[in-house]
Amino acid sequence: MLDDSTTASPQAEGAAARPPRREFKARGSFVERCEGCNLPTLNCLCPFRVEAQSHAQVWLLTHPLEHHKPTNTGRLIGDVLPATRVFTWQRTAPDEALLALLDDPRYAPFVIFPDDQPDYAERVVGMQAVTTVTQQARIPVFIIIDGTWRQARRIFRKSPYLDRLPVLPLRTQRQTRYRLRKPASQAHLCTAEVAIELLRQAGDGDAAAVLDDYFDAFNDSYASSRTYHKIEQPTAAMRRLLARQGRLSASATE
Q: Which residues does residue 60 pair with via DSSP β-bridges, in sequence order?
A: 86, 144
Cβ neighbours for 156, distance < 8 A, ≥ 6 positions apart: 111, 113, 145, 162
Q: Which of residues 130-189 bind Zn ion (CB under 5 A)?
A: none
- CB of residue 195 vs Zn ion: minimum separation in angstroms? 21
Cβ neighbours for 39, distance < 8 A, ≥ 6 positions apart: 33, 45, 70, 218, 221, 222, 225
Instruction: Tell me the backbone φ, ψ of residue 99, rounded to 5 degrees.
Output: -60, -40
The count of chain residues that interact with Zn ion, using the rule CB under 5 A, is: 5
Q: In the complex with Zn ion, which residue's Cβ is closer, 49 or 154?
A: 49
Long-range contacts of 29-38 (CB under 8 A, 24+ apart): 31/225, 33/70, 38/70
* Contact of 151 with 159, CB cutoff 8 Å: no
Which of 208, 215, 213 shows the shortest CA–CA distance to 190? 215
- CB of residue 44 vs Zn ion: minimum separation in angstroms? 3
Q: Which of 20, 27, 31, 34 binds Zn ion (CB under 5 A)?
A: 34
Q: In the complex with Zn ion, which residue's Cβ is closer, 44 or 124?
A: 44
- CB of residue 32 vs Zn ion: minimum separation in angstroms? 11
**Binding piece for Zn ion, criterion CB under 5 A, among 22-30, 43-51, 168-176, 206-214:** 43-51
Check binding of 44 to Zn ion (CB under 5 A).
Answer: yes
- CB of residue 38 vs Zn ion: minimum separation in angstroms? 7
Check binding of 76 to Zn ion (CB under 5 A).
Answer: no
Using CB atoms within 10 Å of the CB of residue 142, give its burial: 0 to 12 exposed, 13 to 18 middle, 19+ buried: buried
Check binding of 37 to Zn ion (CB under 5 A).
Answer: yes
- CB of residue 55 vs Zn ion: minimum separation in angstroms? 29
Check binding of 46 to Zn ion (CB under 5 A).
Answer: yes
Check binding of 231 to Zn ion (CB under 5 A).
Answer: no
- CB of residue 247 vs Zn ion: minimum separation in angstroms? 15
Residue facing Zn ion at closest CB distance: 34
- CB of residue 47 vs Zn ion: minimum separation in angstroms? 8
Q: In the complex with Zn ion, which residue's Cβ is closer, 185 or 224?
A: 224
Q: In the complex with Zn ion, which residue's Cβ is closer, 66 or 79?
A: 79
Q: How many CB atoms lie within 10 A of CB 131?
A: 13
Q: In the complex with Zn ion, which residue's Cβ is closer, 31 or 34?
A: 34
The phi-psi region of residue 48 (left if phi > 0; otherwise alpha if psi is between -120 and 50; otherwise beta) is alpha
Task: Compute the residue count for the chain.
Answer: 254
Residues near Zn ion (CB under 5 A): 34, 36-37, 44, 46
